[in-house]
Structure 1
Amino acid sequence: MERAVMSRHLLLLTAAIAVIGANSLALSPIAAAVAGAFPGRSAADVMTATALYGLATAGSALLLASMSDRIGAEHALGRALLLLAVSLGFAALSPALWVLIAAQALAGLAAGVALPAIYTLTAQVAAKGRESETLSFVLVGWTLSLVVGVGLAALLADLLHWRAVFSVLALAAAGLALGISRCRDWGTRAGGEEPSSCLKALRIPGIHAVLLNVAAYMTAFYGLYTYLGPHLGEVLQLPATFAGLAIAVYGLGFGVAAPLGRLVDRYGATAAACVTFAGLMLMYLGMAVSAALPLALLTLCLGWGVGNHLGLNLLMRQLAELDPMQRGAVMGLYSAITYLCVFAGALLYRPIFTHFGFAACAWASAMLVLPALGWALGQWRRKQAALE
């Protein structure tokens, strides 16, 4: 019975990530159709909504995520999903582009609270000794949003209308909010009498090193991911379907890595971190060497997805274990940095891609993973010294 309850919790959390991720990714493939509904507007104008969504998510995660520590992560998640459902409803009904943009900004506020709450609840419900396996299961939600969500959004826009995309997502968010409110036994709520905050969480010993690793790691990913499509389409002159296939292969790799979480629990996070970050560096270097070889890049995208899943798992697990009493605030910092890196990666990698090409971008990503590898090796050496 206990296992069935935990499975229900994890399915709800995975679905919540999938819905949030689908909304953040769905606008790009349907931007042209959305622009057609608003005379005088272009697809680029529509993508302003995505930019504000990202900024709102980062700001919300930084300022509001700590409410998970005050009212309980399950209550924070339920309210955030209700707000997400309302904002997506407004997006579906928007009579003008500015309403859609405002609705996506409101959705970003909801996502900034929901994502840290999801990660907090994942840590709460995980059985002892199965933390990485549990987190890997929930992270599959990002694969669902990338592979299924984006494709389904394009299909709905073609068969029905782009407004149907946001209508379906709004109904899904409302249904998940109801499901989470009816679920019990979310584990022990970690929280003190004094409300925590992200600024207070910055005083936790050891958090700065991990957050710097997260920032470098996320910049490495988003910077290269942003210019993968332009490289394949503009430089290699490949059809858009090939770029879509590359993203799908990455998502597949991210998804198939989920069962590997149990190996992290079995052999230890320190050893797994050394292998994972070294392997991810090799993937980036391989992409630099094979930048002009489409099939090789496609193959490496699979390994990239596997490595990125495990790397995220290890960094998030490290953050979650720093201070369970302030887990919501800590995960808020993680989410804020993640969404800021979406912009930082695109901004910093643009001159590299323009002047030196995709290979240089891949090499830069490899170097940005180097701090995480150095940190992992340092942890491993300290562990070995303690055993001697």
Structure 2
Amino acid sequence: MTETTAGPAAARFSGAQSRHLACLMLGIAVVGAQALMVAPMLTDMARDLGVGPAVIGRAHGVYGAGVALAALAAAPRLDLWPRRATLIAAMAALALALLTASFAGNWWVLAAAMGACGLAAGIILPSVYALAGDLSPPALRARAVGRVITGWSLALVLGVPLAAFLSELFGWRGVFAIMAGLAALSAFTFLILPGRSEALSAASVSYRQAITQPGVVRLLLVTLAYMIAFYGTYTFLSDHLRGLHDAGAGLGGLIALSYGLGFGAAVAFDGLLDRLGPWRLAAPVFVLIAGIYLVQPWAAAAGPLAIVLLAAPWGVLNHFGLNIIVSLLSGGPEATCGAVMGLYSGVTYIAHFIAGAVMGLVYADFGFTVLALVAGGWLVLAAGMMMGRSPSSQPSPRTYPG
């Protein structure tokens, strides 16, 4: 490893660093696309397998359970495993699981295959986030994470619309097969990532070691509040709009497109996080996101165009919010980074489950306006937890494994 300082010389990524981050971004894009592509194909999948749409929804729910299970089970061991080899093996497993799903003859096989996809994604996501932190100089960490999480924007802007279009040509099975090929390609690109002859840690890292790192418990609680609010509103927004305006499923695609464009465009301003400090910007950004949630019912009532336009700044702010959380969590010691990011992924998908179960009850009993108020409250709580932090609490500089 070579020492990299936070001075002027570290103001730009090297060519090798840029290529490594591009590989990681592609990996996130593949994981995001295969997770999000089910929505536009759900009706066709249900019809082909002879079940109702809700059954396919439950089968897809197994995916989220798989992500959470793998992330939490693997968290103490991620720093025991060499990052590059782990990513290659997990992405290859994802490709195999997607290919299996494309041949599913009933919903049970589909659910099992999607669960396997979730298990693989539960290893890939924290490993990618941890490696993004490993590969970046401290002064460029937020920009590095910003590049990598732009893969989610690619998944929204390209993955969801393209999956819908390709399903018209090749059917949903063809889309799963194509995605399996992209996962295999991503595994191949991981070969250029810097490797290690040994793991970062000589022994597995316990949850206690991970959560005793400064600020980790607080950040995981922030993650829980943040993700419950996001998934709670994103999941039920389209249903609310279709009831209000008798709209088709295409409106949800437009919202995803607008959100994804905003999310991706925000990468140009990630340098602000490095210059001003993620801790300083966290509370203001979270309060602005809370404002977005409070405005959503009004925009939905105003018409489809208003909510589509609102999705773009929502994407911009969520990019910053996610970058803040991931940058801070991945900025600790390398020996515990994988474990911490595994906990982050596990908490994220626990929040996904809570959003569907608890926030779904709020939506069913009280409507979207109350749901949006609750979501805003979660973000205000997250903002409160991020206040009162000093720059001295941020992680110390690390080395770049060149």
Whether TM-score is above 0.5 comes out as yes
Specify whether residues 239 and 9 from structure 1 end up closer, same or farther in structure 2 by C-alpha distance, changes over 3 A only. same
**Pair 1:232-2:241 in alignment:** yes
Alignment of structure 1 residues 18-29 onto 2, 5 Å = 18-29=29-40
- What is the match of residue 193 of structure 1? 202
**Alpha-carbon separation, structure 2, partners of 1:345 and 1:14:** 26
**Alpha-carbon separation, structure 1, partners of 2:208 and 2:62:** 23
Deviates more, 1:217-226 or 1:350-359: 350-359
- What is the match of residue 338 of structure 2? 328
**Pair 1:253-2:281 in alignment:** no
Task: Choose between structure 1 and 2 for higher RCO, CA contacts under 8 A separated by at least 6 residues.
Answer: 2
Deviates more, 1:131-140 or 1:242-251: 242-251
Maintained 8 Å contact 1:125/1:186: no
Equivalent position to 1:285, from 284, 287, 294:
294
**Alpha-carbon separation, structure 2, partners of 1:361 and 1:188:** 50
Specify whether residues 187 and 297 from structure 1 end up closer, same or farther in structure 2 by C-alpha distance, changes over 3 A only. farther
Equivalent position to 1:78, from 71, 82, 88:
88
**Residue segments in structure 2 that go unaligned for 5+ positions in a row:** 1-11, 394-402
Normalised by the length of structure 1, the TM-score is: 0.92
**Pair 1:313-2:323 in alignment:** yes
**Displacement of 1:255:** 1.1
- What is the match of residue 309 of structure 2? 299
Q: Deviations over 1:347-373 (max 9, x none)?
A: 112232223321211111111011221
Deviates more, 1:342-351 or 1:311-320: 342-351
**Pair 1:131-2:137 in alignment:** no
**Displacement of 1:336:** 0.7
**Alpha-carbon separation, structure 2, partners of 1:274 and 1:364:** 18
SS in structure 1 of the partner of residue 14 of structure 2: helix
Equivalent position to 2:165, from 147, 155, 160:
155
**Displacement of 1:270:** 2.5
Specify whether residues 319 and 187 from structure 1 end up closer, same or farther in structure 2 by C-alpha distance, changes over 3 A only. farther
Deviates more, 1:88-97 or 1:286-295: 286-295
**Alpha-carbon separation, structure 2, partners of 1:228 and 1:343:** 17
Maintained 8 Å contact 1:67/1:76: no
Maintained 8 Å contact 2:25/2:151: yes
Maintained 8 Å contact 1:190/1:326: no
**Alpha-carbon separation, structure 2, partners of 1:333 and 1:129:** 25
Deviates more, 1:234-243 or 1:6-15: 234-243
**Displacement of 1:2:** 7.6
**Pair 1:30-2:41 in alignment:** yes
**Pair 1:170-2:171 in alignment:** no
**Pair 1:212-2:221 in alignment:** yes
**Displacement of 1:129:** 0.6
Q: Deviations over 1:166-209 (max 9, x none)?
A: 1111111112212212x143689873322114454233343211
Q: Aligned-residue CA RMSD in angstroms?
A: 2.2
- For 2:268, the aligned partner's letter is P
- For 2:17, the aligned partner's letter is M
**Alpha-carbon separation, structure 2, partners of 1:267 and 1:2:** 19
Specify whether residues 233 and 188 from structure 1 end up closer, same or farther in structure 2 by C-alpha distance, changes over 3 A only. farther
**Pair 1:102-2:112 in alignment:** yes
**Displacement of 1:278:** 2.2
Deviates more, 1:148-157 or 1:89-98: 89-98
**Alpha-carbon separation, structure 2, partners of 1:370 and 1:186:** 41
**Pair 1:12-2:10 in alignment:** no
SS in structure 2 of the partner of residue 221 of structure 1: helix
Structure 1 stretches (4+) deviating beyond 6 angstroms?
187-190
Maintained 8 Å contact 1:132/1:261: yes
- What is the match of residue 371 of structure 1? 381
**Displacement of 1:148:** 1.0
Maintained 8 Å contact 2:40/2:249: no
SS in structure 2 of the partner of residue 196 of structure 1: coil
Maintained 8 Å contact 2:300/2:307: yes
SS in structure 2 of the partner of residue 377 of structure 1: coil
- For 2:152, the aligned partner's letter is W
Normalised by the length of structure 2, the TM-score is: 0.89
**Displacement of 1:117:** 0.4
